[in-house]
Amino acid sequence: MDKEVNERETSTRRRHKVTNKHYYHVEIYLAAIDAILVEMNHSFSEVSSELLVCMSSLNPRNSFSNFDVDKLVRLAEIYAEDFLVGDLMLLRTQLGNFISNVRRSKEFLGCKDLAKVAELMVQTGKNRTYHLVYRLIELSLILPVATASVERVFSAMSLIKTDLRNKIGDEWLNDLMICYTEKQIFRSISDEKIIQHFKEMKKRRMLVPQQKLVITNEE
């Protein structure tokens, strides 16, 4: 690794010696790490990163060791349409009472999953006592699913609404995207059911042609 070689991708006249270790560490390893970081920064915006940091405060592992009231209040502020100004003031109090209660509760002892926390809150009635905390947990559970679904829809839109289909109507586009994103469900529906449903429609442009029995002579 300490053997000196000519530096790559430089002018022949200006080429100077570098070690193999320098070449693989700087020009390959660090370049790959920089490319990965750039890609992650494009995928996760500043708001998304803040959401993830705030959501991590609800992690129930080790008796809610990452619990942070300020970060959770900030998470509620991001969801401004779900939390009013008065709710934010009450939320801080509810968060303090909630964490003191669950750390003393046997039901929540050893809980490692946020979905399990929501389930236990319903079973013990804490979803009514700490309704704002429960709302915050619900939003945290929905966010990853909603984000993935939105990304799937935009990917489907780029495939369906091409340059040749740029004048497609909103209703027709919506129907096509539903069929594409929920393709597993539509594949389970037989053609006979689709034809029967079309026949029973009161408003349609044309009638379904009657199926004719084709008889073939086999020698």
Please state, in angstroms and rounded to a whole number, the distance separating the CA atoms of residues 83 and 65.
Answer: 25
User: Helix crossing, 131-160 with 114-124: angle to 10°?
Assistant: 140
Considering the domain architecture, whether residues 28 and 55 belong to the same structural domain is answered as no
Quote the DSSP letter at residue 206: S
pTM greater than 0.85: no
pLDDT at position 215: 44
pLDDT at residue 82 is higher than 60: yes
Distance CA 53, CA 47 (A): 10
% the chain with pLDDT above 70:
74
How far apart are the C-alpha atoms of 122 and 128, rounded to whole Å? Answer: 8
- pLDDT on residue 195: 80
Q: Are 52 and 137 members of one domain?
A: yes
Mean pLDDT of the chain: 77
Please say if the pLDDT value at position 51 is more than 50: yes
18 beta partners: 5
- Greater confidence (88 vs 3) lies with 88
Question: How many domains is the chain partitioned into structurally?
Answer: 3
Residues 6+ apart with CB under 8 A from 182: none
Q: What is the DSSP letter of 47?
A: H
- pLDDT of 48 above 80: no
Are residue 31 and residue 115 in the same domain, yes or no? Answer: no
Whether residue 122 is found in the same domain as residue 55: yes
On whether residue 152 sits in a domain, the answer given is no
| Bridge partners for 4 per DSSP | 19
Is 86 within a domain?
Answer: yes
| Shared-domain flag, residues 106 and 189 | no
- Is the domain of 35 the same as that of 52? no
Q: What is the per-residue pLDDT across 137-175, written as a single tens digit (0 to 9) for each? A: 988 888 766 555 566 666 777 777 777 777 777 787 787
User: Structure tokens of 7?
Assistant: 């530096």
User: Is residue 129 assigned to a domain?
Assistant: yes
Residue 217 lies in a domain: no
Amino acid at 85: V
Q: What is the Cβ-side half-sphere exposure of residue 20, based on CA atoms within 13 angstroms? A: 3
Q: Are residues 51 and 132 in the same domain?
A: yes
Range of the domain at 8: 4-43
160 versus 15: which is more confidently predicted?
160
Kindly state whether residue 151 falls inside one of the protein's structural domains: no
* Lookup: tokens for 132: 């704002």
Tens of pLDDT along 96-126? Answer: 999 999 999 888 888 888 889 999 999 999 9
Q: Per the structure block, which two tokens stand in for 127?
A: 């979803």
Handedness of CA 98, 100, 106, 108 (dihedral sign): positive
Same domain, 172 and 89: no
Percent of the chain with pLDDT over 90: 18
Quick check: is 208 in a domain? no
Looking at the fold, whether 122 and 64 belong to one and the same domain comes out as yes
Could you count the other beta carbons within 10 Å of the beta carbon of residue 151?
11
Q: Could you tell me how far CA 115 lies from the centroid of its own chain?
A: 16
**Whether residue 104 is found in the same domain as residue 187:** no
Query: What's the mean pLDDT in 68-85?
Result: 88
Q: What is the mean pLDDT of residues 69-96?
A: 89
The two three-digit tokens of residue 13, written as one number: 């006249």
- Range name among 76-80, 185-189, 204-208 with the lowest pLDDT average: 204-208
Contact 135, 82 (CB under 8 A): yes
